[in-house]
Structure 1
Amino acid sequence: MSLRCFLIEDDPVVRKMLERIIIESGIGEVVGEADDGMHVSPDQLYSVDVVLIDLLMPGLDGIQTMKKLKAQGFSGPFIMISQVENKEMVGQAYLHGIDTYIHKPINRYEVVSVLKRVAEYLSVTSSLDSIRRLLHMLEKNKHSGVNCPLSHHSIGYEKTSFEQKVQHLLLILGIAGEAGASDLLHIMQWLAEQERKGQTIHDLPHLKELYISVLRHTHNIGNEQALQKEMRAMEQRIRRMVFQAFTHLSSLGLTDYTNPTFEHFAPRLFDFEEIRLRMQELESAEKTTKCRTNVKKFLTAFYMEVKGA
């Protein structure tokens, strides 16, 4: 997950350091900043994932600013930044809602470590929320006797176990909150229906043909130009999501090479040599990647995993 960060810090040097660390580490971007908390409003934080805020500032201090923004509706996490060692003051900060703490002087490794933990937390939270919404919708549809709206055709409530397997696997791979997750679910449903018709799944059609077939199956798009446009958008969403899964597995392997999720899924969903290269890139904090991901292999292997789950 790429974090959208907002900085509230009266020292421009510290703001610049934080921005450089956030960008160079590849963990996210700074979408806004302020030198005090007086004039920061929830409107400025509309697309923000996390706020990094100084404890001691002129005007409103960090705790006062945090209380104000929470009262005005911002529900995202706060990371407090300060060189204050007073345990009582730090305790007050936690009491009023900070999620974690970064010490001054700024240490790159501490900043990256803290932000990665926050990103993982937000990713898991988003994934769980998606699953809760899905299960709530399925339960509602079960009682109302209607087909699940995730598929506009013959896949109804009786197929929810298949859909739940897809959602579970998305969560394991760290991509349940990605924009392409619903596209992947539709693709899996379409593949299941094709297999029921007697078609083999081991040799998928060209990806663009696959996406067009799925879109025609799940969307009422009569205009060919609109269909092509939506196909390209789906292609981008799927590609980004597959790369996110690729990076997630690589980061698991980098942390623990014997991680069971890494051991099982990395060689099945991706070329393991590419996984090794991605691990090296993550370890050296490279901003760009030379890795290649085989989307067709991923989709085929993902479907086989869901079937065997």
Structure 2
Amino acid sequence: MSNTFFIIDDDINIRKMLAHIISKNDLGKVVSELDNGLHAEKEILFYNPDIVLIDLLLPVKDGIQIIKDVKEEGYKGKFIMISQVEDEHMISRAYENGIVFFISKPINMTEAVNVIKGVCHSIELERSVELIKNAVGRINNDNVSMPKLSIDDEITRIFTEIGIIGESGVRDLTKLIHAAISFKNQHESQQYQLQDFYREIEPSLHVKAVEQRIRRAILKALENIAALGHDDYYNSKFVEYSTALFDFKQVKQEMRYIENSKEERGKINIRKFVEGVISKLNI
């Protein structure tokens, strides 16, 4: 099935370049374009594209707010953000609000093609999974329900897929995720402090020791995901977890380190990782 695209950028040359990439590589069809954020929400909801390519800094209304608004209205498509902004806080906000990839300006053609192909591949996988679920549902009839995995089972599944199930910090990391879930259930509008959770996880140990064990486990996950992407940019686990659990810029930095050990390693954000895992849980 061909994917549909919506491009929002105030630079006409960027819009033309992205449309050319989509057309030349037979990735789908561009259904519409906009050069500002004024009517972006209504247009996205009207066309309901599979993928929105959107600039962060737009006239009238910025890209992050547009993403937030349309997701609240029930839009389920994918967002790829394109921007020259390098502020890590703003990029982190974009990921938190639902983008799946971030492409930096000036646009590198090879990177853009690989990213868009990767997201298209992810959509195809999701469609295949949905078809299988529907087929299984029809076979089992509506009266038969599949057993629901526990939170611990789901966390174990994720940790297995990203290759850290055997790491020494996994037990602490699992406790941290449970603590964050509990806090969010009790205090919906408040931000938690990781340091408070570290004290609860292992009272007999210094907070820094607990944090270091957790950090080492997440760094190993970053290393594993970057290795998957380095070998195969379309690897389903790489596509699923590289942006959900990490800042993609740091994943790319780790991939550069794999190619050249003189490069700096990628960095991890413990809160983003924890929130990413929680977003993947069926709770």
TM-score (normalizing by structure 1): 0.44
TM-score (normalizing by structure 2): 0.48
